[in-house]
Amino acid sequence: MPSVIQWPRGAKAQETSDAFGEISGFLNVLWAVNGSHIPIKAPRENPNAYYDRKKFHSVVLLATCDANLQFTYVWTANPGSNHDASVLRSSELFVKLDDLFHPGFYLLGDSAFPLLGWLVIPFRDLSNLTRGQRLFNVCHSKIRQVIERGLVRFRRLLRFDACDMNLIVKTILSACVLHNICIKMNVENFNLFDDDNTDNHACDNAESRPSGYQMNGVRLRNDIMQHLVQLN
C-alpha cells in the first residue's frame, strides 16, 4: 500500500493544486477529504458501536484524493457510530499535520468536518448567504464531487460478509490500492453508489464557535471567497 497510496510532495503537490484550480478556481487546494460508511455484518464484539446514523452496521473509510481520483491517504476501522470529525481527529493524518502540509496549502471537506486553518468547508446555507458565499459553495462542491466519485469503486464492499475486523480492514485498504492501480492503468469501469454525508450530519461550523484553529479557518475561507468573487 505505501508504494501505491502516497501523499504527494513538491512538484506533485503543486500539480494537484493546479488541477483543482482548473476545476473550481480555488488556489492551493492540496486534496479533497471525505468519509464513507462501508456496510458490514454486526461484529461479535461491541456491535452497537458499529451501528451508524443510516441504521446499519459499518466502519468508516476516511480518504483524501487528488483531481485524478487517486487516493493519497486512507484510514479505516473506526466504528460507524463515529462522526467524520471524530474519525479525522483519531487518524494519522491529523496527528502528522506538520509533516504533511506545506504552508499555504489546505484540504476541502464537507460540513461533517470542522472549519480549521488547513481544512475548508462550505458556508452553512440558512437561506441568507451572500452572493460571494453562494459562489464559494458552488465552487467548493465541484471539488467535493471528485472525492465522492472515488468512494467507492467496488460494489462488493456493499455486501461485506466477513465478521473478522482485521480481515474487513485489510480488504477495504486492498480495494483502495486496487482503485489507484485501476486509475494508473486507465481502467474506467466505475461502479459507484451515493454516499451523502453532508445532509444528515448536524455539525457546527466555525461561525458558531470562532476561536483558535477555527478562527484561522474563518479567515482562510473568507480570503478564498474574495478571490472567487474577483474572478467572477
| pLDDT tens per residue across all 232 residues of the chain | 999 999 878 888 888 889 888 888 888 888 889 888 888 888 888 999 999 998 999 999 999 988 888 899 999 989 999 999 999 999 988 888 777 777 788 889 999 999 988 899 999 988 899 999 999 999 998 888 777 776 656 666 666 677 788 888 998 999 899 889 988 888 655 443 334 443 334 334 434 444 445 667 888 888 888 888 887 7
The pTM assigned to this predicted structure is 0.79
> For 35, phi and psi rounded to 5 degrees?
-120, 140
Helix (H, G, I), strand (E, B) or coil at 149: helix
The strand pair at 71-79 and 58-65 is best described as antiparallel
**Do 123 and 133 contact (CB within 8 A), yes or no?**
yes
Q: How is the chain split into domains, by residue range?
A: 11-231
The secondary structure of residue 101, as a DSSP letter, is P
